[in-house]
Amino acid sequence: MERKVNVAYLKIGMYVSNLDRPWIDTPFLLEGFMIGNEDDLSALTSYCTYVYIDPDRGIGASEYIEESSRLKTNAYLERFLQDNKKKVEYKNTQTTKEELPAAQVALENASNQVAHIMDDVKEGKNLNIEAVRGVVEPILDSIIRNSEAYMWLSMMQKKSAYTYSHSVDNCALAIAFGRFMGLPKKDLRTLAIGLLMMDMGNVHVPEGILNKNGRLTEAEYRIVKKHVLHGVKILKETKGMNEDILNIALTHHERFDGSGYPAALTGTMIPVYGRMAAIIDCYDAMTSKRPFSAAKSPYAALQNIYNWRGSAFQPELVEQFLQCIGVYPTGSLVEMSNGEVAIILEQNLTQRMRPKIMLILNEEKAHLMEYKIVDLSKQFEDSGQQPLNIYRGLDPGSYNIDPTEYYL
């Protein structure tokens, strides 16, 4: 009897009886064959996301797609999305200003260490799980103490290597998202490691493709998609990686409506961590400058995430993410109702449209002689006694503003 299998689970000795596309669209000469070597595996993973095998004519698989709903998920979070009852209520124990020095050290360490970790794997060395934990713990502790400081610094930094900074940003966003949803610390740690390591397979994608300044060809895109399977393989071979972390790597490019890869899973067949990772990954990618696209403003990126609810992303998770990040995320540029320009410093959890801001340009878009910090939840009028509100989000670099000049 034919069984549907994700190509991530194919092994030598399996009999492939059918593909996810016409045989004529592939280089395979026979319509049905035994996987005999690594070249066969490579070819199958290059052309297919899933295939059908006949366990009666070859060995069976450890996981079949029709059984993928059994992929491990976080039962508490699944319930939370229905009843909205948090397991842990986190409170900031440090102000943003107090937490900034520790957050700065965590960010600098993470940026350096992730580059070393990935370079080692690229050179054929084993993934160093202790080094990974060494990156995650300071970020985790900082965001638990204060959810704004690290996110502020991450937004402000000049990103020189997209792959490395993207992994670190994903990790921090995952912790902030999980903290907002009330995950216990041990689960935040799992989520953080998963998001930090889920793109590890990119070390096996040619840099010329990763850094291509233009649209990928179909063949190049097939190569890029293989990073998922490469990453899962690396993590499977690493001691200390639990099933949740493996599933994050396996499913972070799946989409709620089944349009993702590598297995076109739908809905809750995707573990909740994978559904969260998909949103985080997409948001950070859109707000980062990449070789083929300029960075979107956080506000514009969140608009896209919102518009994709119910298709690419689970609506309930989109709602939680928007509440976590805020309408205007920490570190983003905004224009005020009076024409002044400000940077968002800190969210107001009860009044999302009235965060704490730093005014840096006046209504003529000239630099203020002295930058002014305003808590919009307490100040409702400007110096002219006119209502003071956020008018719109601005793109990064608007008015030649370099956010790195405005650390607290």
Q: Which helix (H) or strand (E) holds 401?
A: none
CATH 1.10.3210.10 residue spans of the chain = 75-325
Q: Is the pLDDT of residue 156 over 60?
A: yes
Percent of the chain with pLDDT over 70: 95
pLDDT at 7: 83
Contacts of 346 (CB under 8 A, 6+ apart): 96, 148, 330, 355, 356
The pLDDT assigned to 68 comes to 45
Return left, alpha or beta for 365; rule: phi > 0 is left, psi -120 to 50 is alpha, else beta: left
Rounded distance, CA 171 to CA 42, Å? Answer: 30
Angle subtended at Cα 320 by Cα 315 and Cα 325, rounded to the nearest 5 degrees? 125
pLDDT bin (cut points 50, 70, 90) of residue 25 is confident
Which amino acid belongs to residue 405?
E
One-letter amino acid for residue 17 of the chain = S
Angle at 10 between CA 268 and CA 167, to 5 degrees: 55
Q: CA separation (Å) from 245 to 20, 222, 271, 272?
A: 27, 24, 11, 12
Q: In Å, what is the CA distance from 101 to each residue of 136, 174, 407, 408? A: 17, 21, 11, 10
Residue 70 has pLDDT above 70, yes or no: no
Q: How many whole angstroms separate alpha carbon 334 and alpha carbon 375?
A: 14
**Rounded Cα gap, residues 86 and 93, in angstroms:** 19
- How is domain 75-325 classified at the architecture level of CATH? Orthogonal Bundle (1.10)
Measured distance CA(229)–CA(327) in Å, rounded: 35
pTM of whole model > 0.75? yes
The pair of three-digit structure tokens given for residue 8, joined into one six-digit string: 């991530």
